[in-house]
Amino acid sequence: MTTTTTATGGRPAGTPRVRKRRAGGDWTHVVALAWLGVLIVAMIALPPILGLDPLALDSTARFSGPSGEHWLGTDDLGRDLLARALDGAQVSLLVGLGSTAIAALVGVPLGMLAGYRGRLADAVVSFLVDVLLGFPGLVLALGLAAFLGPSVPNVMIAIAVPLVPAFARLARAQTMSLLTREFIEASRVIGTPTLSIMRRDIVPNITEPVLAFALVNVGRAILIEGGLSFLGIGVPLPQPTWGTMINEGRVYLTQSPAIILAPSVFMMLTILSINLLADRYLLDRTTVAGGS
């Protein structure tokens, strides 16, 4: 028997086509990793090395441009913009990672319970998810932040709550897709407790999609934190954050654009890098699945 092949690639007819990754597309994740690496090293190493103080005032250096002493210049009070941007990076990364972790720790178990138990549990969890989804995420975060008060833990909670429904839905869908698998049915037949099945059989099989989704939401959480701080209900003063810096600098936009540009560029590059890494991770998982 002969095998029919295509005219261009020599691929047997009927064989699924696996899309190859473009060689030129690999540079984006390298740049993203480089930026995040530089940001983390800079916010840890530069302040003690250069003696940067984000709260130090210098009335003689107001609105100064980039120099050897102030690499990005200073704001309206003479505070170093680089010091404030790096200090704000710590807050943004902490809030982004912390709020996403809280949302995953709450939403994933609820989704697993709803998907595995079904019926009453599924109805209750689905109702709670629908109620939360009835509020726009940013509006819900604004309301919670205003109610809880300004602090880093409260901001994490305010951002995490709108993210819980998405994690719950993802975990529910992933769990339900595993219920018909043979290893799950075998565990049920031999009388394995529900918690053991979830811990040993379900959790390892939904970890990858949950991690990929969590990475995407870290950038979203950083953006929401910036919006809350811009509106003055996020992390309390005098702690500098990117959103607070943008809010303070908008008054002096024409006089010193660097006050807004510095935190804006830091935020944009950080969120973009996280999203690029999330896309790359999802692409790798898709490529592996398509080639298996």
pLDDT tens digit sequence for 20-55 = 444 445 788 889 999 999 999 999 999 998 888 998
| Structure confidence by residue, pLDDT tens digits, 85-119 | 999 999 999 999 999 999 999 999 999 999 988 88
Counting other chains too, the contacts that 20-26 makes at CB distance below 8 Å and 24 or more residues apart are 21/283, 21/287
CA distance 226 to 173: 31
What pLDDT digit, counting tens, does each position of 209-243 carry?
898 889 889 999 999 999 999 988 888 888 899 99
pLDDT-derived band of residue 84, with 50, 70 and 90 as boundaries?
very high
Q: What is the pTM of this model?
A: 0.83
Contact 152, 91 (CB under 8 A): yes
Q: Which phi-psi region, left, alpha or beta, contains residue 56 (left: φ > 0; alpha: ψ -120 to 50)?
A: beta
Distance between CA 231 and CA 244 in Å, rounded? Answer: 8
Domains and CATH numbers, the chain: 92-286 (1.10.3720.10)
Stated as kind and residue range, the H or E segment containing 181 is none
Chain-centroid distance of CA 291 in Å reads 28
* Residue 95: closest CA among 7, 11, 217: 217
CA atoms of 286 and 292, how far apart (whole Å): 10
Match 């901001």 to its residue by tokens: 155
Q: Give the pLDDT band of residue 283 (cuts 50, 70, 90).
A: low
* C-alpha of 176 from chain center: 25
The region of weakest confidence among 9-13, 72-76, 193-197 is: 9-13
pLDDT grade, residue 271 (50/70/90)? very high
List pLDDT tens digits, range 2-27.
444 444 444 444 444 444 444 445 78
